[in-house]
Every structure is written in structure tokens, then in C-alpha cells.
Amino acid sequence: MSAPVLYLDGVSVVFDGFRALDNLSLVVEPGELRAVIGPNGAGKTTMMDVITGKTRPSAGQVRFRDHDLTRLDEAAIATLGIGRKFQKPTVFDALTVFENLELALKAPRGPLACLRWALSGEARRRVEAVLDETGLSARAQDRAAILSHGQRQWLEIGMLLMQDPELLLVDEPVAGMTDQETEHTAALLRRIAGTRSVVAVEHDLEFVRALGRRVTVLHEGSVLSEGSIDHVQNDPRVVEVYLGR
């Protein structure tokens, strides 16, 4: 069995005596697509903040591959191959889709390596591959300003893919999307997972069902239930605290 990509064990975060995370454990395998759901205040954002180093846990282990993330700051963690997509897209409106993606690609260090890389057409090939992966090829030359809400979100996911992350963290990717856009996003994340691992925090249960993978339900800072969407939706503890049925 391969080692997990992401490993959280016994993680607690305390803000002024309040436990935002309470003995949280989460294991994500290579290529896995994991949905994390839970009511407001369950600790989903704090969990993402702990993984990216924005918040330091007061107890517990947080590992990405062989790296102990509790020993690293946010800037160091950002170089390890963890991409995070926040809810609000940060694309450049004045630039085309192609240019936004090009800009997101980090050129190799050093003028010679950089020149060789530019001449090789490697950057263009990477942009074209990501256009294809995100379904944005037909919009490549359009300015980001005229994209639909969904397309802007996919562009931002594409910008993260340009950096070739091993783990992608996405925060409520389908908020405000049409049903069709939601479906496209589920298909996109399913495509991305496999070569990478994805953790998606989401409220929309239909979307989580469309992802069709393992679901973790958080409540009061720890894991309440874990398994398939059918398993967690029928778990009496989940029904009681989250679904309110």
C-alpha cells in the first residue's frame, strides 16, 4: 500500500479557549477525491487553514507526504505542491484565458533555463493541456471578464493545475453555479483526481453525490461520519446534527 498524501491525526486548534478542531483525523490517499461536508462552524475552513499553514494546530500531526507541516510556515508549505482554491476566484479580468494560465506557470530559475524552456514550447503545451482538462479550449482567446461564473471558477482551477500540485484543496467550488455548471465541475474534479489528490469542502449534497467518492462529515471540529454518500446520509448521527430530518 502506498503512503497517504495527507495525514492528519489528533489535530486540535483552540481559539481563545474555543476548540475549532478537536482531535481531528483525516487520511487522504494518492489520487483520492475526498468531499468534506459539515454544518457552518464545523471546522472545515480551519482544517484547510491547518493544511496550508495559515493556522497552527495546538496539538496533533499534520503530514503531506514526508513533510511535517506543523514545522513549516505558510510560504514553505506553498512550495511543496499543495494548491488551494478559495471560493472567490482571483483571475485577471483584462487578460485572456490563455494569458491567465500562462501567467500561473512558474518559469524555471535562471535566465538560460528560462530561455531554453520558452523556446521549447513547453509553456504553450502545458497551457493547452490545462485548457483541454478544464474544458476551456474554445474560450482560450476570450478575456476572463466575459466568462460565466462557472468558467471563471474552472479557469482558477486551471491556474492551480499549471503549478502541477499533488494535492488540490477546493473551497465550495459550486457555490452559485447552475446545475449544468455543477455537473461540469464534478466531472472536472473527478478527472483531476487520479493523477492528483483533491479535497473539496462543500455544502451542496447533490454535488457531493455527483463526485461519488468518499465523504467525511465534520461536526464540532471532529469527524462525525465517513464513507460513501449513502452511508453518511443514512448515519443517524449525521441525520441528527446535519440533515435535520
Pairing of strands 215-219, 33-37: parallel
**Smallest distance, ligand ADP to C-beta of residue 174, A:** 16
Longest CA span, the chain:
63
Looking only at the bridges linking them, the beta strands covering 6-15 and 18-28 are antiparallel
Q: Which is nearer to ligand ADP, 17 or 236 (CB)?
A: 17
Shortest reach from residue 10's CB to ligand ADP, in Å: 17
Binding residues vs ligand ADP (CB under 6 A): 15, 18, 20, 38, 40-46
**Integer angstrom CA distances of residue 139 from 69, 105, 145:** 38, 19, 12
For residue 6, the number of C-alpha atoms closer than 13 Å in the C-beta half-sphere is 29
Sheet of strand 59-64, all strands in order from the earlier edge strand to the far edge: 18-28, 6-15, 59-64, 67-68
Nearer to ligand ADP, 56 or 149 (CB): 56
Q: Please identify, using beta-carbon distances, which residue of 153 and 216 lies nearer to ligand ADP.
A: 216
Nearer to ligand ADP, 20 or 91 (CB): 20
**Nearest approach, Cβ of residue 2 and ligand ADP (Å):** 29
Q: How many degrees, rounded to 5, is the angle at CA 1 between CA 68 and CA 188?
A: 75
Residue with cell 491556474: 159
Residue 19 CB, shortest distance to ligand ADP, in Å, is 8
Question: Contact 119/101 with Cβ under 8 angstroms?
Answer: no
Least distance (Å) between residue 42 CB and ligand ADP: 4
CB 46 → ligand ADP: shortest distance, Å? 3
Sheet holding 167-171, edge to edge: 82-85, 167-171, 197-201, 33-37, 215-219, 222-227
Question: Cβ closer to ligand ADP: 32 or 49?
Answer: 49
Cβ proximity of 203 and 220 under 8 Å: no
In the bound complex, what is the minimum distance in angstroms from residue 201's beta carbon to ligand ADP?
7
Q: Which is nearer to ligand ADP, 22 or 102 (CB)?
A: 22
Q: Which residue in the block uniquely carries the three cell numbers 461520519?
A: 225
